[in-house]
Amino acid sequence: MASTNNVTELILTGLFQDPEVQRVCFVVFLPVYLATVVGNGLIMVTVSASKSLRSPMYFFLSYLSLVEISYSSTVVPKFIADLLTKIKTISLEGCLAQIFFFHLLGVTEILLLTVMAYDRYVAICKPLHYMTIMSQAVCYLLVAGSWLGGLIHSMVQIFVTVQLPFCGPNIIDHYFCDLHPLFKIACSDTFMEGVIVLANSGLISVISFLLLVSSYIVILVHLRNHSAEGRRKALSTCASHITVVVLFFGPAIFLYMRPSSTFTEDKLVALFYTVITPMLNPIIYTLRNTEVKNAMRRLWKKNVNSGVE
């Protein structure tokens, strides 16, 4: 049975308390968020409009970009707006909604990255059967499965959280709502809830990461029999994905696979994967991928020419 709460509004301590530092952060992070939306949006438009980017790899990349925009938007716009306010507040319902969508989209991204690793495994290790195995129906099923996995995970997190009584204080030591900071202000023992969160969030990250590492070990072993040019091309397509995986999984495992704390370092690590990584992903995928860069150039020239006419 859900608890009765005396707390209806929460106060966030934010990332920094110094007003001058907060204004500097506003000037820095607003362009970062805009770059995240524009960069990932450009990838989605390019994949959708380019006939040369019809392979499953780019199909998954476009959905990853959609998730990145949505994931970042659950936290960053409010975080940026709060940098200009002295008292940062959020309703309890708004806090729970932020947690729900943050974990939904975070786990969806984890599962999509795992699916993309499987796609690279099939493409490199079973090239003759690639289009048969990764048919359009299978691709849609894998994307739908990623969203469903994220939804189930997030529903478990919220079900655990809404059972807790919050009777004060109402101050969360973070710049957005997450489970560990919220558990700290519950007026009941949260040991079991913490164990459930550890199992639900941490193990998903670790298991997915191990699957990703295993798939790339198999790929590297398989590439020994390829020509030097074949190895170079295959590794080039994998390098971007591996970089994104490390940038996303490293901070997530650091935060969710150990006891919670109030260290400022935790906020900075969270800042990395909520603000910085979503902006880096489109840069990583475009700079290291000739096909995407060429498709963007063709799309740009086409729009410029149509504008001139």
The percent of residues in the chain predicted with pLDDT above 90, rounded, is 44
pTM here?
Answer: 0.89
pLDDT at residue 33 above 50?
Answer: yes
For residue 11, the SS3 value is strand
Sign of CA dihedral 186, 167, 269, 249: positive
Residue pair 155/104 in contact (Cβ under 8 Å)? The answer is no
Q: Can you read off the two tokens belonging to residue 127?
A: 């090239």
pLDDT exceeds 90 at position 270? no
pLDDT at 1: 42
Bridge partners, 88 (sequence order): 12
135: pLDDT confidence band, cut at 50, 70 and 90? very high
Instruction: Identify whether the C-beta of residue 90 lies closer than 8 Å to the C-beta of residue 188.
Output: no
pLDDT in tens, 197-234: 877 777 787 788 888 888 888 888 888 877 777 777 77
Segment 141-159, tens digit of pLDDT: 999 999 999 999 999 999 9
What confidence tier does 265 reach under pLDDT thresholds 50, 70, 90?
A: low
Tokens of 18: 């110094």
What percent of the chain clears pLDDT 70, i.e. is strictly above it? 91
* pLDDT at site 294: 85
CA-to-CA dists, residue 241 to 3, 25, 57, 277, 286, angstroms: 43, 29, 10, 13, 11
How far apart (Å, rounded) are the C-alpha atoms in residues 228 and 238? 15
Decide if pLDDT at 174 tops 60: yes
Print burial letters for 271-294: b (CB count within 10 Å at least 16), e (below 16): bbbbbbbbbbbbebbbebbeebee
Which domains, and CATH codes, for the chain? 9-308 (1.20.1070.10)
Find out whether 57 and 237 touch, Cβ atoms under 8 Å: yes
d(CA 92, CA 5): 9
Per-residue pLDDT tens digits for 225-244 = 777 777 777 777 777 778 88
Lowest mean pLDDT among 90-94, 124-128, 290-294: 290-294
DSSP category for residue 234: H
The per-residue pLDDT for 296 is 84
Tell me, what's the pLDDT at 129?
92
* C-beta of residue 116 within 8 angstroms of C-beta of residue 210: no
Q: Is the pLDDT of residue 12 over 70?
A: yes
Per-residue pLDDT, averaged over 264-279, amounts to 83
- Say what the pLDDT of residue 2 is: 46
The larger pLDDT score, comparing residue 91 to residue 232, is at 91
Burial zone of 129 (CB within 10 Å; 0-12 exposed, 13-18 middle, 19+ buried): exposed
Distance of CA 106 to the CA centre of its chain: 5
CA distance 259 to 271: 19
pLDDT for 38 beyond 90: yes
Q: What's the mean pLDDT when you consider all of the chain?
A: 86
